Amino acid sequence: MLSKINIDIINSLTISELDVLRFVDNNKKQILDWSIQTLSKTTFVSTATIMRLCKKLGYSGFSELKYRLKEEISALDSFKKTPLSRTLSIKTSNRSSIRPPCWMKSKYRKSSD
């Protein structure tokens, strides 16, 4: 999440907003079940601070922030579930379709002497 945020937005955040953002980024799954009041108490900031953070990040509010977090988590989970064997078989099939340049064929071809 933090890596996708524009540096200008990060520079515009207050220390309290940065603290909340770091906490949210480190506790994504946990935040999904929380209310704004729970996050407020846990991070020792007001609900208004959290709402300002959400607005600065481009969300309509805390609910949309949680919705986007859920999307991000789902995307990461589906990526992690892609079997390694499937990924490797794709790499292997791509490798077999790549042909060396002509000069390499003649250089490494066994001579019949």
Buried b (16+ CB within 10 A) or exposed e, 21-58: beebeeeeeebeebebeebbeebebeeebbbbbbebbe
pLDDT tens profile 53-107: 999 999 999 999 999 999 988 887 777 666 665 656 655 555 655 666 665 555 5
pLDDT for the residue numbered 4: 80
CB 32 within 8 A of CB 70: yes
Domain of 13, CATH number, reads: 1.10.10.10
pLDDT for the residue numbered 74: 87
In the predicted structure, residue 7 carries a pLDDT above the cut 60: yes
Q: Is residue 34 part of a domain?
A: yes
pLDDT tens profile 36-51: 999 999 999 999 999 9
Selected residue with higher pLDDT from 92 and 22: 22
> Cα(76)–Cα(48) distance, rounded to whole angstroms?
30
> Cα(31)–Cα(14) distance, rounded to whole angstroms?
21
One-letter amino acid at 14 equals T
Q: Is residue 110 part of a domain?
A: no
From the list 2, 12, 14, the residue with the least C-alpha distance to 69 is: 2
Domain span at residue 57 reads 2-93
Count of structural domains, the chain: 1
Q: Is residue 46 part of a domain?
A: yes
C-alpha neighbours within 13 Å on the C-beta side of residue 75: 7
Q: Is residue 113 part of a domain?
A: no
CB 45 within 8 A of CB 16: yes
Q: Is residue 26 part of a domain?
A: yes
Q: Is residue 112 part of a domain?
A: no
pLDDT for the residue numbered 5: 87
pTM: 0.67
pLDDT for the residue numbered 49: 99
In the predicted structure, residue 113 carries a pLDDT above the cut 70: no
